[in-house]
A = this chain, B = another copy of it.
């Protein structure tokens, strides 16, 4: 039960040797060997490259040593938390894509604070997948994210409630010296450097689907930097490192001031909704959805 297999694997990683690991675990080597085989059965893959009288630990297992340690620590924390339980405080944890944190959360925070003056927030930023994972796992009470018009709402079950806060759109922009590379007709050389989204990121998928130029590695002749971190993309764009696709709400001020130039007229734009999700069983979260829903009627 509990930590056995995690401890087994950690000890194996430390010793690099079944016999010594078995000794550390206070069982015989054949018993330890059988445990590790059981672990491999559960994984569906081997973690040891076995010689006739030696074993090598696979890179996959070695690369995950930190994670395994973290898991073991977390399970110990869980035990402690249950054993020394103290009723929780009144903080709402919000998993949010980076971009909506900029444009929407301050306004939302104002509305929330009016209704629940003592309410506190914990912002958990991340890419969409990480945010959805945090939310579904219960690491966050609510989820704040963009939705493209083509994809529609996230496919949650009936126990998850959804509210729309507003609209936004993704536009291609350039800044710094690259502004002067834009031709009079609004076009740009195809080999202009681009700051691109990973194809498995949310914006990457949305823009790939619409085949937007400069959006991902596949759609760019010169993808200089790849990151899902839209704030970082904004900085690189402002510094003239390349073309980037960003939510308009993140840089409307810079567009207004001329610090960046929108290429939407030529390269198009991608419509987005800003959505909030919460579990219907979470009373505080549902109350907040109500507050934010009312604020946008």
Contacts and interface: CB of A to CB of B under 8 A. Distances in A.
Interface of A: 1-2, 4-5, 38-39, 42-45, 47, 58-61, 63-71, 73-75, 78-79, 81-83, 85, 87-88, 91, 96, 98, 101-102, 105-107, 109-110, 113, 120-125, 133, 136-139, 198, 223-229, 231-232, 235-236, 238-239, 241
20 contacts: A2-B42, A59-B85, A61-B82, A63-B87, A63-B137, A64-B81, A66-B133, A66-B137, A67-B81, A70-B139, A71-B74, A101-B229, A101-B231, A106-B239, A120-B225, A121-B225, A121-B226, A123-B229, A125-B227, A231-B231
Contacts of A82: 43, 45, 47, 60-61, 64
A5 B5 contact: no
Nearest to A66: B138
Contacts of A87: 59, 63
Given A61-B82, A70-B133, 17 more contacts: A1-B42, A43-B82, A60-B82, A64-B78, A64-B81, A66-B133, A66-B138, A67-B133, A69-B137, A71-B74, A98-B125, A101-B229, A101-B232, A109-B236, A120-B223, A124-B227, A231-B231
A123 to B, nearest CB: 3
B73 A227 contact: no
A123 B67 CA distance: 17
The 10 closest A-B pairs by CB, nearest first: A66-B138, A60-B85, A123-B227, A106-B239, A70-B137, A125-B229, A101-B232, A121-B225, A231-B231, A73-B137
Nearest to A138: B66
Contacts of A64: 78, 81-82, 85, 137
A169 to B, nearest CB: 19
B138 A224 contact: no
